[in-house]
Amino acid sequence: AHCPVYTASKHGVLGFTRSLAEASRLGNYGIRINALCPSFVNTAILDTINHEENLGNFYQFKDGVKNLIKVFGVLEPSVIADGFVQLLEDDSLNGAVMKITTTKGVHFENY
Ligand SMILES: NC(=O)c1ccc[n+]([C@@H]2O[C@H](COP(=O)([O-])OP(=O)(O)OC[C@H]3O[C@@H](n4cnc5c(N)ncnc54)[C@H](O)[C@@H]3O)[C@@H](O)[C@H]2O)c1
Ligand SMILES: CCCCC/C=C\C=C\[C@H](O)C/C=C\C/C=C\CCCC(=O)O
């Protein structure tokens, strides 16, 4: 929401992940490819919404993003690291999309 190009890039990452994971499985590449999709995380990127040069025409919607942050809260990076370790350790995961949110914690999007 609010930033169409940013959002399009994230959808692209998911398509890339799932397609490459299937290619890896079929081609016996020996690697697993998964995506980790967190809600808001406490990193420097959150400050970018305060700068017009980052959001361009969509700067006018920054209060909407701030409201989302207020409603859903901000995760600490350590929570994301824990999810990442789970992706590393679970050999059954390939082409998986792990979501981490304040409301549901770690869960998976099934396609
Ligand atoms: N922080 C969040 O709320 C959040 C939530 C979901 C997804 N993400 C995604 O996670 C990823 C990492 O974000 P983050 O929160 O750690 O942000 P961050 O701002 O802390 O880190 C981003 C890093 O990317 C580097 N970078 C930027 N442009 C680059 C380029 N062209 N080539 C190489 N490196 C470049 C920056 O120098 C910086 O070190 C991003 O793709 C972001 O969209 C972040
Ligand atoms: C919205 C774009 C703002 C510009 C980029 C700054 C930060 C981006 C952070 C993340 O990519 C945001 C991702 C998801 C947040 C959206 C809704 C949260 C829903 C959480 C839930 O369902 O519990």
Q: What per-residue confidence (pLDDT) applies to 1? A: 61
- CB-CB contact of 33 with 21 (8 Å): yes
Backbone angles phi, psi at 24, to 5 degrees: -65, -40
The runs of H, that is alpha helices, within the chain are: 4-27, 52-55, 62-72, 77-89
- CB-CB contact of 12 with 60 (8 Å): no
Q: What per-residue confidence (pLDDT) applies to 68? A: 95
Q: Name the active-site residue from 6, 29, 59, 111.
A: 6
| Pocket test residue of 6, 45, 50 for ligand 1, highest count of atoms within 8 A of CB | 45
Picking from 109, 100, 93, the residue whose alpha carbon sits closest to that of residue 34 is: 93
Ligand number, closest to the Cα atom of 74 = 1
Q: What per-residue confidence (pLDDT) applies to 3? A: 86
How far is Cα 4 from Cα 2, in angstroms, rounded to an integer? 6
17-54 pLDDT per residue, tens: 999 999 999 999 999 999 999 999 999 999 999 999 98
Beta-sheet strand order (sheet of 35-38): 35-38, 97-101, 105-108
